[in-house]
Structure 1
Amino acid sequence: MIFKNEFESLGFTAKWIEMPAEMKRAGHLTAVRAGTKGKRVLLIGHIDTVLKGEKFRRDGKKAYGTGSADMKTGNVVLYYALKALHEIGALKDASVIVHLTGDEEDSGTPLEISRGDLIATAKRSDLVLSFENGGSNIATVARRGYSDWQIEVTAKTGHSSGIFKESMGSGAIFEAARIVNQFYETLRSEKYLTFNPAIIAGGTEIETKDAALTATGKGNVVPAKVIVRGDLRFISEEQKESARTKMKEIVARSLPGTSAKITFRDEMPAMTPTTGNYALLKQLDAVSQDLGFGKIEPLDPGERGAGDISFIANLLPGLDGLGATGGNAHAPGEYADLDTLPRQIKRAALLIYRLTR
């Protein structure tokens, strides 16, 4: 429990929160320093990774290893910013909560449990700063959310010589192709909205096992079933619901001899850009320029996926992307730029200092 001990050395009360065993997810670390001065600041990160097995190694100014950019170095920025403030007595009477989740890359369900503690801390905070990997002169005021969707098509089946006849219809694969193509024609040009049909299987029979789909059929048989799975990414709940409505309408226009249904499953909400987020960006920009590091611009939300801050973005203003820079996140050869750490630590420390005055 390295982080737990380190935060306790800075005067925080730290504890590890276990998740129920049946969730098969790691727990979370929370550290609290209660005070009455300035804003109540929530600092968040995560301690899990997507891949496993690539050990830490240093090559000049780069640190390689699984999770180095996303987001081990971000946690280091968070910790050392607090350490710097602690050493000059600037945390005295400040209200700061640190929350490091153990399952950000694949949130445990039910979300009411896996994100319950994070939401509770947000409700007793005034703002949130997240330390996911960042950029030299950018910060994140918005992150797209995502949800999963699944289309199930059923159709009349029989000898292929009968396809397109009134007694047979068009078959399940033509219907699935119609739906996915109309999604493409209808939705693809809307800003910040993307959808991705990731898996498709069709034939006379489909076997489902966990995330896998296995289809069987014959070339002379009209396919009876198709399943298509994908995701939907959006910048706001309004955009999500609007897209879902359009998708449902498309699915309902069935070809002859077919029927289809679409279901949706929420995964992560969006961090919608707000005036409060931009106000925090303005403060970070002032900090950066005062330190001689230049202006800070908002990152295009289309360049960033969902993250834990999204679960609480409706409750309080926030900024993300305050960690170090790096590359190859979620892939072999992931690295962090170590020479960006001092700059990011100084920015974070001064921002937290000003917020807690």
Structure 2
Amino acid sequence: MNPLGWKRLLTGSFLLASLLQAGLSHAELTTIEKNIVQRANQQLPQALEELKTAVNINSGTMNFTGVEKVGRLYQQQFDELGFKTEWISGKDFNRAGHLQASYGERGPKILMIGHLDTVFTKDDSFQAYRDLGDGKVAGPGITDMKGGNTIVVAALRALKAEGLLKDLQVRVLFTGDEESSGRPLSLSKKAIIDGAKWADIALGFEDGDSSIKTAVIARRGSIGWRLEVSGRPAHSSQVFTDEVGYGAAYEVARILNDFRQQIDGLGAATVNPGLLVAGNEALKLDVSNAAAMAGKSNIVAQTAMVKGDLRTLSPKELAQAQATMKKIVQKNLKHTSATLTFAEGYPPMPPTDANRKLLTQYSQISEDLNYGPVAPVNPRKAGAADISFAADHVDMALDGLGLMGSGGHTRDEVADMDSFTKNIHKAAILMHRLAKQYKH
């Protein structure tokens, strides 16, 4: 069927027509690679319909029914490709679960990572796929990351259609709790870690920094921290005295300012206080992280609490930042005390020479397709992601291969669909070239 025929299959004819322009010219592609591109283009209407269907299913992390429904949708697609599929229950870590799909017995072992959940709750007002024209589509989780999931399926489908999937060993893992990880992490991330221990290469299909000109060779890890501070309660007229001291609020202010001054500039490390309360009544903190504190302007604060995150690029940087924060917390103002605790979280994904080599190959493919070079993402511009749990266990890892756009995690989430087609092509050809290298 020609492009004009395809256009009649979908609502929004400009969208499909613009997507098809992505594969019209090639520089250094082999005949087989050109065939892969052609197959991907032929299957584009199906991929777009699958993306629309997935986006229209609410899968906020705690909507377990919705997350599993999206997972079952992808499971059917992998079943049709001949994959062995499994739904991994999340009962033991209080989440919906994960989808795992496996294929092949020869060739390089590639772990492909996505996630099923979004940040949009079941009752959020942002619920539907909407074609905006000019190659732009809005929808909850369309870039983060149902678009990336669909790119995975479409790339594998193109390879299967060309008889090339048999040269690869593939394990796909779409997790159900990337946006809000289940606990303990030893259970919720076990499938990723096990997959990475099996694999040679990990490929992540998040949207990186939302630019098709970049991909991710390094991500900062993210761990939580909690600071609890106590002071002597008294009438505010007595603050600064030898008997009363400075109170919990001033001690919190001192600690946070020292965090800012001493962590800022420590490599790529950042520390952020996301929630802060101070006053005199006993602190109440519920499971949704809502906090309540009572106090008066003429009373020296007796207690304070801060919750935040610490992001670092390497285990060494993490250890340095934690040691610095602990040292700051120990130097208390008069008649105050403070306790700092750290929670488990996402490990760092440091940049490695092997990751850079994989990016170089991916960039060359992009140039061979006349899509331009791909540079590494500045780790400060991309958050933590599931691939961080895999990166330490594989020879090389690359992320940010998904659908690009803007407004992630907001009701302004919009996908640039030009990147949809291009990244299907790039992912499929990357896997084909990895298979060829393995043979030699």
Amino acid at match of 2:211: G
Contact preservation (8 Å) 2:155, 2:424: yes
2:129 aligned with 1:56, yes or no?
Answer: yes
Counterpart position of 1:195: 271
Structure 2 gaps, min length 5 = 1-71
Q: CA deviation at 1:96?
A: 0.8
| Residue of structure 2 in register with 1:216 after alignment | 294
* CA distance, structure 1, for counterparts of residue 297 and residue 74 of structure 2: 59
Q: Which is worse superposed, 182-191 or 304-313?
A: 182-191
Question: Which residue in the other structure is 1:121 paired with?
Answer: 195
Greater fraction strand? 1
Alpha-carbon distance in 2 for matches of 1:336, 1:102: 21
Among 21, 26, 35, which residue is 2:105 paired with?
35
Whether 2:243 is the aligned partner of 1:173: answer no
> Residue in 1 aligned with 2:113?
44
Deviation at 1:148, TM superposition (A): 1.2
- In structure 2, distance between residues paired with 1:261 and 1:209: 16
| Identity fraction in percent | 40
| Comparing 201-210 and 26-35, the one that deviates more | 201-210
TM value normalised by structure 2: 0.78
Report whether the alignment pairs 1:6 with 2:80.
no
* Structure 1 equivalent of residue 376 of structure 2: 298
Partner of 2:90: 19
Match of 2:350 among 264, 272, 286: 272
2:84 counterpart letter in structure 1: T
Using the TM superposition, name which of 305-314 and 9-18 deviates more. 9-18
- Root-mean-square deviation over aligned CA pairs: 1.4
Report whether the alignment pairs 1:68 with 2:68.
no
1:337 aligns with 2:416: yes
Moved more, 51-60 or 271-280: 51-60
Residues 278-308 of structure 1 show CA distances to partners (whole Å, capped at 9, x for unaligned) of 1111111221122222211111111000000
1:61-88 per-residue CA deviation (whole Å, 9 max, x = no partner) reads 1221100111111111111110000001
> Is the Cα–Cα contact under 8 Å of residues 40 and 356 in structure 1 kept in the other structure?
no
**Paired residue type of 2:276:** I
Report how far residue 93 of structure 1 moved.
Answer: 4.0
Aligned residues of 2:266 and 2:317 also touching (Cα < 8 A) = no
**Greater share of helix residues, 1 or 2?**
2
Moved over 3 A (4+): none
Offset at residue 335 of structure 1 (A):
1.5
- Paired residues for 1:76-115 under 5 Å: 76-115=150-189
Structure 1 gap segments, 5+ residues each: none
CA distance in 2, matches of 1:51, 1:110: 23
Q: Is the 8 A contact 1:42 1:129 kept in 2?
A: yes
Does the residue aligned with 1:323 lie in a helix, a strand or coil?
Answer: coil
What CA distance in whole angstroms lies between the structure 1 residues aligned with 2:404 and 2:227? 38
Shift of 1:220: 2.8
**Secondary structure in 2 matching 1:312:** helix
Contact conserved, 1:35 with 1:95, CA < 8 A, in 2? yes
Maintained 8 Å contact 1:150/1:262: yes
For this pair of structures, how many residues does the alignment match?
A: 355
Instruction: Return the match for 2:219 from 140, 143, 150.
Output: 143
Q: Is the 8 A contact 1:157 1:222 kept in 2?
A: yes
TM-score (norm 1): 0.96
